[in-house]
Structure 1
């Protein structure tokens, strides 16, 4: 009974993340021409689709699932986003409204190339196992420490981002942004360092953990869109965006 409930909540949370990722990603691209954030949101949503299909396809064949191409692809997408996507790429993307910084195409390509490199390295088979033959949790100290460090460095920028939101009077979205960001950091710690007790959430599939993680990541993507919109609209209302466009026109 418990396993069925966990499976259902996992599926719902994954669907929430998929919808939030694709919708918010499309808004970033269509409305704000922010391809960095839009594409990264699409990557996270696609990861959710792959994860969902994999979970349904290999529900009765865990061993086969771990040797499938989908499993390797899932680890690659996860490593891409945790290392560069929701860290460096996120910061550079948000700087469009905090510093009016628009990365050049070469910079954007470089960030994605770096993310692909990190994803390929961190998704190696030697880093995929999280449970040993005795059913004990395996901690991969190198990757886990790296993920935590880049997460905390990103959190520093997010705190600055939240302050900017607070200063313009967008207090609700500021609190929401800080809340989902802190929740995402808790997820990062739980992911690699402090798994839930096996009696509550079996290590073989960690369905309860992934339910919380997917829900948080979905809300995170949605909240960041609203936060971005608040700062963008403030910049437009105060003439900051228009002034920036005029400077670019004069420079051209």
Structure 2
């Protein structure tokens, strides 16, 4: 547990970089008078994929979970260690989760700073909120939840498969290499992202939503708390199901 502080800082830095670049590409596409304005969903999807690449790369000291669903999924898979040989226990899980949620909040704040003038110029409150958090194309909480469960299941299940089912060895994304994970996120976005905007990460959605609520954004409107539970509960369920499923379908390789 000597490295637990470094793990915390690594998760803060990695998740912050992920959200800065991921929410940043949404701001570039959605906010008026940007050079990327109107770039479309495909630009957003590739932007998020490369944001994951950057986040995973800089968070190598922690194994680069960057996502509470990944952390909880690895626990469910029977992992005995996280990055840097940190044992899996109640304290270490809390440290990972705290780093992820704090990093996501800080990343969202920096996006607002980078695009401050464009937030001021943007007339539509929904476009402003969309740069911080996800929302459904068709609002149906039950089906939106199902979509988030499926997308997160794919993410965590394939992440575990990347590691050859070796749940007990340095659980996380960093050990796998950043590029495969980035490609996976792009695939999930292009295949399953349309209905809900594919949060697939409770920290990525909840912390920026809190930032939207707290920041002095001109004409920002509602933070849509009625929907906020879906991109938290869905990814948690999907991550846990993926971890448990890996015990059956992804046996540990020698």
The answer to whether the superposition gives a TM-score over 0.5 is no
Highest relative contact order (Cα 8 Å, sep 6+), 1 or 2? Answer: 2
TM-score, structure 2 as length reference: 0.29
